[in-house]
């Protein structure tokens, strides 16, 4: 159980409009990204070594929103720059966690799975795999909201 009832908003649309949810979601996105990177490092290299920045890029989240829209049959706005779209993705993550649709460990597992499966060599391919994983998390939240 997530003891954050005071953070709940009436619906996903309200969460997407909330700067507080953007901020909370930013923290959650970076945490689960770091957890996923650790899972990938252990699975592919046998060691806990998180290379690169532990902060998920706006581009990964922007691509994830587009993929999640297709998977969930949703129409979350894709207007604005990468940072504005990333804010929306982060708000959705926060909403999903606050409303117990997803747990942090589950998010990390969903995000890491495509990366581990594809074993990307190039950075571009790694980012695409992480976007795929984030889209799985976002689609789950969208379908259950």
Q: What is the DSSP letter of 122?
A: S
Name all domains of the chain by residue range, CATH numbers in brackets.
Answer: 5-143 (1.10.1520.20)
**pTM for this predicted structure:** 0.93
Closest to 145 (Cα-Cα) out of 87, 85, 76: 76
* 38-84 residue pLDDT tens: 999 999 988 887 777 689 999 999 999 999 999 998 888 767 889 99
DSSP string, 12-55: HHHHHH-HHHHHHHHHHHHHHHHHHHHHHHHHHHSS----S-SS
% of the chain with per-residue pLDDT over 90: 79
Could you give the dihedral angle defined by the CA atoms of residues 84, 86, 87 and 91, in that order, rounded to the nearest 10 degrees? Answer: 150
* 78-111 residue pLDDT tens: 678 899 999 999 999 999 999 999 999 999 999 9
């Amino acid at each position: 159980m997530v003891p954050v009832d005071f953070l709940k908003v009436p619906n996903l649309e309200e969460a997407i409009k909330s700067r507080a949810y953007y901020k909370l979601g930013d923290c959650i996105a970076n945490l689960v990204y770091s957890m996923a990177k650790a899972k990938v490092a252990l699975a592919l290299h046998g060691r806990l070594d998180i290379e690169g920045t532990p902060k998920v890029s706006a581009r990964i989240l922007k691509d994830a929103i587009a993929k999640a829209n297709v998977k969930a049959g949703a129409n979350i706005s894709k207007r604005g720059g990468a940072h504005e779209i990333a804010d929306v993705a982060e708000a959705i993550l926060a909403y999903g966690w606050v409303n117990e649709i997803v747990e942090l460990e589950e998010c990390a597992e969903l995000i890491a799975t495509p990366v581990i499966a594809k074993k990307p060599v190039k950075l571009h391919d790694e980012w695409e795999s992480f976007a795929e994983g984030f889209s799985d998390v976002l689609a789950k939240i969208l379908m259950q909201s």
